[in-house]
Chains A and B, each alone.
Chain A
């Protein structure tokens, strides 16, 4: 059983996950951000690997990636930072990056490093399903890794059913046809979409992301899914308030 499945056995409602960018705002902040998020009561953490050309991300996350890269972050540093946390961190981590990073680092080496850091779940938004089926499914299974697939309001039912059968951790329900970034509120159309997905009675847990930014959007999304991921709103807060005040972002959402 993977770490996210274990988590869902203990808690399957109102889960809060936070996305953050490694090496942001400062190079050494990765470990501090993770431990502060854990202390604040976040259920699991999405560890973002900064990338030069992040197609699925909005300007906030892209800027944080740019700054992190300027700070000197790279995969070797990230894996060192994550390894240093392995013994003390009890909150499940999932890794989010783009396929080219894994390709260049070496697929097997990348998977091994991920496992060494105690991580078993990945999000690669530009990994196509056909590539997963033909190649990566086998590779990930070899290392005990689970891939998280995204669905959007435009994903067909047939495709969602297939994704459901491949998902071991959860399905990432992209809240709207958009790149990442806070939208402020959840529309009736989005609610209809969440209800449609819920009515499909999928075996997978559902986590909503993209456009979730505060207590109100968190609460609404949690009515229809098992939890949410907040990214851009947290990155903005972190940029403004620094790593010592992370509690100030998390507590108002979960209390």
Chain B
């Protein structure tokens, strides 16, 4: 079990819980209880029931024939875009809201970049009748207006983060500060980031993706193992979910795709594994984009969900041990990939997901190579960006 964290939440040198004393009791409470809760029959029953009847799982595993033809491989799309709320994020929020309820919490806070996690959190809070506050960077509020409207309609309070780059990193800082001042709240983290046990808990909740993938591949191809799995990585929750049950099977190639923005070396990028070094951000030790004095560098990507200067500690470890191959795609390559998938498969992907699709032309694919791309979300929220580029 090389890729499972230690008791203290370490994946090799990465992970841990680097939090101010002010947050220690909250994190300790969660750490002491999360496994007991997740593994209880009561939780499993309720979680699976909601995933099936509320989220709409299992999500289809679709053989994309025209995409396969174009790239000369056997390409499947794991359709997380068909989940309720439009992305993989809801797998985690459904799970964590049940954890919060088990812990007796009544107020929920969350951070969001593209708004997908914010919407997924606001949704489950509406479902469970819990008060919801979502922190979102001021810049992201502007570029993801439909999701902001959705959150508000769902009854959530959206608080603008106005510090730093006014994006996901700053929304996370604001959420953590609010949590410090309101320790009775439950912080529903949206990715495999943050202090232990969040990275492990979120990975376990997203693992439903690879669990289904195994059964579906077995049914469709006779073999539960694909040759390659591709997923985009900002914090890395959809990738963690798509990789989870294959982590220990080194015959399955794992490809994590980061956002290169205007180019890895352009100074406007979010390709953390290429540009980052070991550091501490938002409560865990990981790989982090920073300057020579350890100040966190503001990342850039056209996609709000990938605009994050770190990656989850599991991904840092997958990168360090070379278990996963890290690739990247620029804004332009992602846009091209999004338009291509829309035209040839009739699926408008989220801009984040488009990064995963964008590495296909860069790969040396073989006809019988079974590739699964985790189609993490749908592109409705990115329509304005797409329209802007359609007109050009």
Residues of B within 8 A of A155 (CB): 21, 24-25
Is B263 part of the contact surface with A, judged by Cβ < 8 Å?
Answer: no
Contact B293 A56 (CB under 8 A): no
Contact status A56-B180, CB under 8 Å: yes
CA gap between A104 and B19 in the complex, in Å: 18
Q: Are B176 and A55 in contact (CB-based, < 8 A)? A: yes
A117 to B340, CA, bound (A): 60
Report chain B residues within 8 Å CB of A178: 22, 180-181
Q: Which of A144-162 contact B (CB under 8 A)?
A: 149-152, 154-156, 159
Checking B8, B19, B181, B278 against A126 with a beta-carbon cut-off of 8 angstroms, the contacting residue is B19
Q: CA of A74 to CA of B296 in the docked complex: distance in angstroms?
A: 13
**Beta-carbon contact of A100 and B288 below 8 Å:** yes
Q: Is A202 close to B, CB under 8 A? A: no
CA distance A229 to B36 in the complex (A): 41
Task: Render B12-32 as a binary contact track against A, CB cut-off 8 A, 1 for contact.
Answer: 000011111110110000000
Are B177 and A55 in contact (CB-based, < 8 A)? yes
* Interface flags, B164-180, vs A, CB<8A=1, else 0: 10000100010011001
Asked if A248 CB lies within 8 Å of chain B CBs, one says: no
Supposing A62-B163, A179-B181 touch, asked if A152 and B21 sit within 8 A by C-beta, the answer is yes
CB-CB nearest 10 A-B residue pairs: A104-B294, A150-B21, A52-B295, A101-B294, A154-B25, A56-B20, A125-B20, A100-B294, A100-B280, A74-B293
- Chain B residues near A51: list those with CB within 8 A: 294-295
Return the contact of B280 from the options A52, A99, A159 (Cβ within 8 A).
A99
Q: List 14 A-B contacts (CB under 8 A).
A: A52-B296, A53-B164, A55-B19, A55-B180, A98-B280, A100-B281, A103-B280, A126-B19, A128-B18, A149-B21, A152-B24, A155-B21, A156-B25, A174-B21
| Interface residues of B, dominant DSSP | mixed
Chain A CB within 10 A, most for which of B24, B183, B282: B24
Q: What is the CA–CA distance of A53 and B161 in the complex, to the nearest angstrom?
A: 13
User: B173 contacts A53, CB within 8 Å?
Assistant: yes
Residue in A58, A66, A76, A127 whose CB lies within 8 Å of B18: A127
Q: Are the CB atoms of B294 and A177 closer together than 8 Å?
A: no
User: Is B290 part of the binding interface, using a Cβ–Cβ cutoff of 8 Å?
Assistant: yes
Count of chain A residues near B, Cβ 8 A: 39
Residues of A within 8 A of B25 (CB): 154-156
Distance between Cα atoms of A174 and B169 in the complex (Å): 26
User: Does A151 lie within 8 Å of B21, measured CB to CB?
Assistant: yes
In the complex, chain B residues whose CB is within 8 Å of the CB of A126: 18-20, 280, 283
Query: B72 an interface residue at 8 Å Cβ cutoff?
Result: no
Q: Pick from B24, B176, B283, B293 the residue with the most CB of A within 10 Å.
A: B293
A152 to B179, alpha carbons, bound, how many Å? 14
- Given known A101-B293, A126-B280, contact A177–B288 (CB-CB < 8 A): no
Q: Which residues of B contact A75 (CB under 8 A)?
A: 293-294
Q: Is A69 an interface residue (CB 8 A)?
A: yes
Bound Cα distance from A248 to B8, whole angstroms? 48
List B contacts of A174 (CB < 8 A): 21-22
In the complex, chain B residues whose CB is within 8 Å of the CB of A128: 16-19, 24
With A52-B164, A53-B164, A55-B173 in contact, do A103 and B294 touch (Cβ < 8 Å)? yes
Bound-state CA distance A149–B24 (Å) is: 12
Contact of A179 with B177 in the complex, beta carbons under 8 Å: yes
Residue of B whose beta carbon sits closest to that of A130: B8
- Which of chain B's residues has its CB closest to A69's CB? B295
Find chain A residues with CB under 8 A from B279 CB.
100, 103-104
Instruction: Kindly list chain A residues whose C-beta atoms are within 8 Å of the C-beta of B19.
Output: 55, 126, 128
A244 within 8 A of B: no
Asked if A131 is an interface residue, CB under 8 A from chain B, the answer is: yes
Cβ of A237 within 8 Å of any chain B Cβ, yes or no, is no
Q: Which residue of chain B has the shortest Cβ distance to A57 in the bound complex?
A: B177
Q: Measured between C-beta atoms, what is the minimum distance from B101 to chain A in Å?
A: 22
A104 to B295, CA, bound (A): 9
- Considering the chains assembled together, what is the distance between the CA atoms of A100 and B340 in angstroms? 41
**Smallest CB separation, A97 vs chain B (Å):** 9
Q: How far is the CB of A12 from chain B (nearest CB, A)?
A: 24
Q: Is the CB of A177 within 8 A of B280?
A: no
Expressed in whole angstroms, the Cα–Cα distance for A118 and B208 within the complex equals 55
A203 to chain B, nearest CB (A): 19
Contacts of B292 in A (CB 8 A): 74, 104
Residue B336, interface by CB 8 Å:
no
By beta carbon, the residue of chain B nearest A127 is: B18
Q: Is the CB of B163 within 8 A of A66?
A: yes
Q: How far is the CB of B272 from chain A (nearest CB, A)?
A: 14
Q: Which residues of B contact A56 (CB under 8 A)?
A: 20, 22, 180
- Most chain A beta-carbon neighbours within 10 Å: one of B169, B280, B290: B280
CB-based contact A177/B295 at 8 Å:
no
B277 contacts partner chain A, Cβ-Cβ < 8 Å: yes
Residues of A within 8 A of B17 (CB): 128, 130
Contact of A125 among B21, B181, B288, B295 (CB under 8 A): B21
Chain A residue nearest to B182 (CB atoms) is: A177
List which B288-331 residues lie within 8 A (CB) of chain A. Answer: 288, 290, 292-296
Q: Does A143 contact B (CB under 8 A)?
A: no
Q: Which of A149, A159, A177 contacts B22 (CB 8 A)?
A: A177
Instruction: Please tell me if the beta carbons of B281 and A53 are within 8 angstroms of each other in the complex.
Output: yes
- By CB atoms of chain B within 10 A, which of A104, A125, A131, A179 has the most? A104
Min CB gap B71→A, angstroms: 40
- Besides A130-B8, A177-B181, A178-B181, 4 more A-B contacts (Cβ < 8 Å) are A55-B282, A74-B292, A104-B277, A126-B280
Contacts of B181 in A (CB 8 A): 177-179
Contact at B22–A53, with CB atoms within 8 Å?
no
B22 touches A150 (CB 8 A): yes
CA distance A20 to B34 in the complex (A): 40
| Cβ–Cβ contact A177 & B21, under 8 A | no
Distance, CA A155 to CA B280, complexed state (A): 23
Residues of A within 8 A of B22 (CB): 56, 150, 152, 154, 174, 177-179
On whether the beta carbons of B278 and A103 are closer than 8 Å, the reply is yes
